[in-house]
Structure 1
Amino acid sequence: MYALQTDTYEEVLKEDCVTLPIRFISDKDYITTNRYSILVKQYVENLEAYTFHKTIKEIASSSSILSPKQPGLVNGNLKCISNADEKVIVFFDVAATSSNIKPSFWID
């Protein structure tokens, strides 16, 4: 998501935040006998950054050194200015973050 210059940080964060289930706990689980809270952090990055990190993770997770996955050059968004032929695998991006503490509630 690319924010327009007129958007504030809060507006961009509201648009990109996704509401997903955090954790399901059965009412029969012993953990419900105590109050607890969960710190939830969400990081929002654009599609280009997500694709870069996903590709690097897939390459790193291959179990063999001679992996059948040979993706070629992974393009980042930084380049070496002193040597244009030097390959650099770096991606620089700024991600929006939000965090919230979600308390538990007892059901009587």
Structure 2
Amino acid sequence: MSGHVITKVDVGSETFQKTYRKLPEDAKKEAKMALGELILLDVTKAPAKLHLHHLTDKQVKSAVDPKKKVNVYTIHLTKNDKFKASFTFEDGTAYMRVAGEHDWVDDHP
């Protein structure tokens, strides 16, 4: 597989779990489908409906090595684009960071 393919989605971070739980129930239902679409996805060829991209002006601590800074990506969780999530992509794994309203996630990836 290419070095750009997501082979695992890690939703275990405490921060992601906490922010995900705050989503409205209908948003959680759509979010589960969006997160499922990440499996075996080439991040360089994501479908437009996910609006997957990295935030060009931000880097965050690596989930694998907190001493390193890495790119942070976002995807839209809902079709109305109100909710999105952020993640780092490291060693084939999408490490989910936060979920919430669109602008909040952009400001606090």
What range is the shorter-chain TM-score in?
Answer: under 0.3
What's the TM-score, normalizing by structure 1?
0.27
Higher Cα radius of gyration: 1
With a CA cutoff of 8 Å and minimum separation of 6, indicate the structure with the bigger relative contact order: 1
Per residue, is there more helix in 1 or in 2? 2
What's the TM-score, normalizing by structure 2?
0.27
